[in-house]
Structure 1
């Protein structure tokens, strides 16, 4: 909170699962000195943390740089800008970025810097589906990523016990059913044969009439702890011995398009 923080440079070390809040009493209407053109442009457009962050001198979208970031919210009250986000439970590589706060102090506008370092916690990509096609492949944390919703409608993952799993949706979609992965879709007729051409058809369509919504406890005989919001969700699988199948989807805001994530636990085919 730069209203009370006296230092001009504040380092902050985070780990997966942390929640961080940032407050800055921006001096929006004052003549700001020592600001380069890039910062000035984004300052004028109110592209502030944590929706936007600076990686070096480049402005970047937080959700692209720290894949799976969730509960990214902000509010404005007068010139006070407050924002927060939750670090996802899965971070593959160290992340470093800055937030700049231009504020008045002793009748002079000064620049203060919050420098965030996030330590990695997982060393390999996790079974999951990321339908954010416009994000960089280099920041992906799931086995399937950067899939275009226009071309790919389904993603199949085959996790094992103890794996993290994740579903990430574009900003104009939301995760269904509510409370995924605590609640999931399961087939009404689980023994119904799936044609081989359908299994490998990435454009096959979601048919809600073929599924029921059930608690994951019904499927696994135990609960799973989930973390996330309506765009990104994570869970760590418990010790599961049996083969288990379930589904969650990304549904477009107009409810006209659905992107499927099929989870096949302990199933290698």
Structure 2
């Protein structure tokens, strides 16, 4: 069931999957969904369902970021720090205890920003990175001028026309098969129906445009080096990048780059490409649960 809270003047949504009755010691999981056409907290439903089916004790907090799902969708440009501040408020007022932060894909900069905000509160116990982006994409800031030009283009009638096309079932099916899933047969009706429904509200375009404009591509190298919490890096065996970059790398290289950059990191490779909690749910749940045993 969806619950709501107010951050600044905005109505924000989240789901709570409660802990086992009588269990007060298990560390909650806080999920950060990816940004993309039609994406929201629903992205995590397969993971949440299997987690509960397997009877793991940890409760799950699954919020909608501003601009997505059932949260308000102001017509603004979103930066990683904006979503991090939303989650900081959520942690301090709703959760009120340390969490294991699980972040999908290129939303890793949001997690990095949140860890930085939480240095005094110590509400981030540990992190799990699901299919993080190539590290060099967030070790050098993109040109602010280029970012603004891209944002202005997306914000224009041309961009709005593109979004109408991008939320069509044909485009969603093609993009998912080419860029997100290792097995095209996993691009099922459930996935496409979810994206179509999630993109129906045209206000959802602004979070997507912010991502496409590259506002997440900043120099986070120093902040990453200061993440002292235990961190699990999960990479798909067929991981790829959907961002333009001069550097290509195989999954092993991506994982090893993160392990060298994070002070307390472990790595694991599981089947799948770029949406591991959805495509490889069973393996993902197993990897997360095994990691939790090492940090409790």
- Specify which structure has the higher proportion of helix: 2
TM-score under structure 2 normalisation? 0.24
| Higher RCO, 1 vs 2 (CA within 8 Å, ≥6 residues apart) | 2
- Specify which structure has the higher proportion of strand: 1
